């Protein structure tokens, strides 16, 4: 793409570095901003600068927070001995939406993924192991996505925790509520049969 303006070219190049946004989409977005009041662009830019430079992470769970300790970790109603290990804040938001979890979280900040250059030291794993060593945790629930990377990360952490007497579990995999069996993939259906649960338990949480 050849641009008639260096300013425009710079902006398009920067925007197109965002994941899933190509040069054409970036140009469309930037032209949209030019048609809007100047204020909108300045507010957008400022909100990104503010977030990136002033963002803080909860010192207990590493979730994004404006305070030293996030709302969940500082709540007296939450069980801090029950820890749900998740990838990022989106998973926290999703689980919070269910209203079914009364423990606290531990946000890893990603999954182990050698392909993307993400190793165990890039994630908040050490602080989780520390908490276990201090005897603060009774049960850990792994809630990473069940991909190769998620499974690797679960297993790595599981290995680190060997020798400590805590319970570990993973969230149940199975057929989604309301889904038809005939359209389910074999792996999921297979696991849902192997890991079947007592019928009376299935009446909870609805």
Q: Which stretch binds its own copies (CB under 8 A): 22-30, 128-136, 157-165, 174-182?
A: 22-30
Q: Which is nearer to its own copies, 70 or 143 (CB)?
A: 70
Total chain residues near its own copies (CB under 8 A): 62
CA distance 84 to 101: 9
Could you tell me which stretch among 9-17, 166-174, 177-185, 189-197 binds its own copies (CB under 8 A)?
9-17
Beta strands in 95-180 (DSSP E): 103-107, 139-142, 167-170
Answer yes or no whether residue 30 interacts with its own copies by CB under 8 A. Answer: yes
Closer residue to its own copies, CB minimum distance, 31 or 187: 31
x/- map, 69-108, its own copies, by CB under 8 A: -xxx---------------xxx-xx--x------------
28 sits near its own copies (criterion: CB under 8 A): yes
Neighbours of 117 (CB within 10 A): 7
Contacts of 110 (CB under 8 A, 6+ apart): 87, 88, 118, 122, 123
Structure tokens at 98: 């269910």
Stretch near its own copies under the rule CB under 8 A, chosen from 26-34, 75-83, 123-131, 187-195 = 26-34
Contact 56, 112 (CB under 8 A): no
The number of C-alpha atoms within 13 Å of 41 and in the hemisphere containing its C-beta is: 12
Count of CB atoms situated within 10 Å of the CB of 33: 15
The token pair that represents 88 in the structure block: 């990022």
Q: Does 129 bind its own copies (CB under 8 A)?
A: no
Of 45, 148, 187, 193, the one binding its own copies by CB under 8 A? 45
> Is the CB of residue 143 less than 8 Å from the CB of residue 84?
yes
Should residue 3 be labelled a site residue for its own copies when binding is judged by CB under 8 A?
yes
Contacts with its own copies by CB under 8 A lie at 1-8, 10-11, 13-15, 17-21, 25, 27-35, 38, 40-56, 58, 63-66, 70-72, 88-90, 92-93, 96, 109-110
């Amino acid at each position: 793409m050849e641009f008639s303006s260096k300013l425009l070219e710079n902006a398009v190049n920067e925007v197109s570095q965002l994941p899933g946004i190509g040069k054409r989409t970036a140009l469309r977005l930037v032209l949209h901003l030019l048609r809007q009041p100047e204020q909108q662009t300045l507010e957008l830019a400022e909100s990104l600068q503010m977030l990136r430079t002033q963002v803080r992470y909860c010192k207990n769970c590493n979730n994004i927070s404006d305070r030293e300790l996030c709302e969940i970790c500082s709540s007296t109603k939450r069980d801090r001995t029950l820890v749900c290990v998740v990838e990022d804040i989106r998973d926290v938001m999703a689980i919070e939406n269910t209203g079914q979890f009364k423990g606290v979280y531990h946000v890893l900040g990603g999954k182990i993924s050698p392909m993307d250059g993400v190793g165990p030291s890039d994630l908040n794993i050490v602080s989780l192991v520390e908490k276990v060593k201090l005897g603060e945790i009774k049960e850990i629930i792994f809630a990473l996505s069940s991909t190769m990377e998620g499974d690797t990360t679960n297993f790595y952490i599981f290995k680190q925790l060997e020798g400590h007497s805590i319970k570990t579990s993973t969230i149940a995999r199975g057929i989604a509520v309301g889904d038809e069996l005939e359209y389910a993939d074999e792996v999921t259906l297979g696991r849902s049969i192997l890991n079947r649960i007592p019928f009376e338990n299935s009446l909870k949480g609805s």
